[in-house]
Amino acid sequence: MARRKVPPLNALRAFEAAARLGSFKDAAEEMNVSQSAISHQIKLLEEHLGISLFVRRTRAVELTRSGRVYYPIIRDAFDRIVEGTDLILTPLGSTAITIQVYSTFTIRWLIQRLASFQKLHPEVPVRLNTSQAQVDFSRDEVDACIMVGQASDRSVHYDFLFRAEMFPVCSQAFLDEAVTLKRPADLGRQNLLQVYPSERDWWVWLESMGVTNVNPDVGLQFDSYELALTAARQGIGIALGQQPYVSRELAAGQLVEVFPGLRVPNPNKWYLACRAEHANNPKIDTFRRWLLREVAQDPDLLSDGSAGVA
């Protein structure tokens, strides 16, 4: 078996802190080392990888494209180390359930409903692990995950939750000022907000509209829909919206559809997934039944008639 090429841990710690804080100086203060030590560790990491991770400026640093891709991965890795340490040091017992979820889904839909689950089932503590990455059940220490994708792994049990339609959204002020925005092909003149872990979403919408002259990857890029939609709400550009992410903002007028009625089905669907051999685990089944009820009661979510086991 080939030896895994893991970058130096201290260099990764320095990179994560500097990327998160946007400053070598602040990273040095947080890690209680000199600024030159942080600079040295990041240079060591860049040499190890053979790429530049930061653009150095006079008073600040900025992530390169490679750095923006690498940062959320390293951040999630350190978060998992912290969570794993808490897991073995905190005696929650075997009744606790660990669920991996996307940050946007958690913030915009799940977290407001979890209080009802804990009230109904105080015997099943919930531990949420937020990540943009797909779960590898052969490696990751989670009981189940809420995922977007296809039910394609025979070793995994899938419960269909809902499907979604995708459509461009922006603030009303942005739309009012965009005088050249009359049809989908005009998006090439606008600032599109891309979610790079889900970069295919914009391409699917554009291809469905027959648009070939627009590249959504050249504008601002974010690691979650939460950030992209927040930027759209603030008038920075046009994001791709889909439920259950934008219902409140559409209802409140904070976001509007750029092309009303031009919605495209997301080819991927939302599932609750777990190892096939754990499908009948009592705590997973308890969470599954509660989650399916919550989904069924939300009028903004679209069912394709296959609710239940996929």
Render pLDDT for 8-50 as a digit per residue (tens, 0 to 9). Answer: 999 999 999 999 888 899 999 999 999 999 999 999 999 999 9
Q: Where are the beta strands (DSSP E) in the chain?
A: 54-56, 61-63, 97-101, 126-130, 144-149, 156-162, 165-170, 194-195, 221-222, 239-242, 256-257, 264-265, 269-275, 308-309
pLDDT, position 89:
66
Q: Are 208 and 264 in contact (CB under 8 A)?
A: yes
Nearest CA to 53 out of 40, 69, 37, 38 is that of 69
More confidently predicted of 226 and 6:
226
pLDDT, position 304:
62
Structure tokens at 299: 């009028």
pLDDT digits (tens, 9 = 90+) for 54-71: 998 877 789 999 999 999
Determine the angle formed by the axes of helices 282-296 and 111-120, rounding to 10 degrees.
130
pLDDT, position 200:
93
Structure tokens at 192: 């599109």
* Dihedral angle sign, alpha carbons of residues 189, 241, 272, 208: negative
Cα distances (angstroms) measured from residue 305 to each of 160, 247, 266, 284: 10, 22, 16, 23
Whose tokens are 């080819």? That residue is 267
pLDDT, position 69:
92
More confidently predicted of 183 and 133:
183
Please determine, for residue 237, whether its predicted confidence score (pLDDT) is greater than 50. Answer: yes
pLDDT, position 306:
41
Whose tokens are 């240079």? That residue is 43
Determine how β-strand 156-162 pairs with β-strand 269-275: antiparallel
Determine how β-strand 144-149 pairs with β-strand 97-101: parallel
More confidently predicted of 116 and 2:
116
Q: Are 126 and 118 in contact (CB under 8 A)?
A: yes
- Place 308 in a pLDDT band, splitting at 50, 70 and 90: very low
d(CA 104, CA 101): 9
pLDDT, position 87:
61
pLDDT digits (tens, 9 = 90+) for 104-122: 999 999 999 999 999 999 9
What is the pTM (predicted TM-score) of this model?
A: 0.67
Percent of the chain with pLDDT over 70: 93
Mean pLDDT of 159-187: 92
pLDDT, position 310:
32
As a whole number of Å, the CA-based R_g of the chain is: 21
Please determine, for residue 293, whether its predicted confidence score (pLDDT) is greater than 90. Answer: yes
Cβ burial 108-146 (10 Å sphere, 16+ → b, else e): bbbeeeeeebeeebeebebbbbbbbeebebeeeebbbbb
Average pLDDT over all residues of the chain: 88
d(CA 272, CA 284): 10
Please determine, for residue 288, whether its predicted confidence score (pLDDT) is greater than 60. Answer: yes
Q: Which of 44-53, 131-140, 298-307 has the highest mean pLDDT?
A: 44-53
Q: Which domains does the chain have, with CATH numbers?
A: 9-81 (1.10.10.10), 91-163+268-309 (3.40.190.10), 165-265 (3.40.190.10)
- Place 81 in a pLDDT band, splitting at 50, 70 and 90: confident
What's the distance, Cα to Cα, between the start and end of the chain in Å?
36
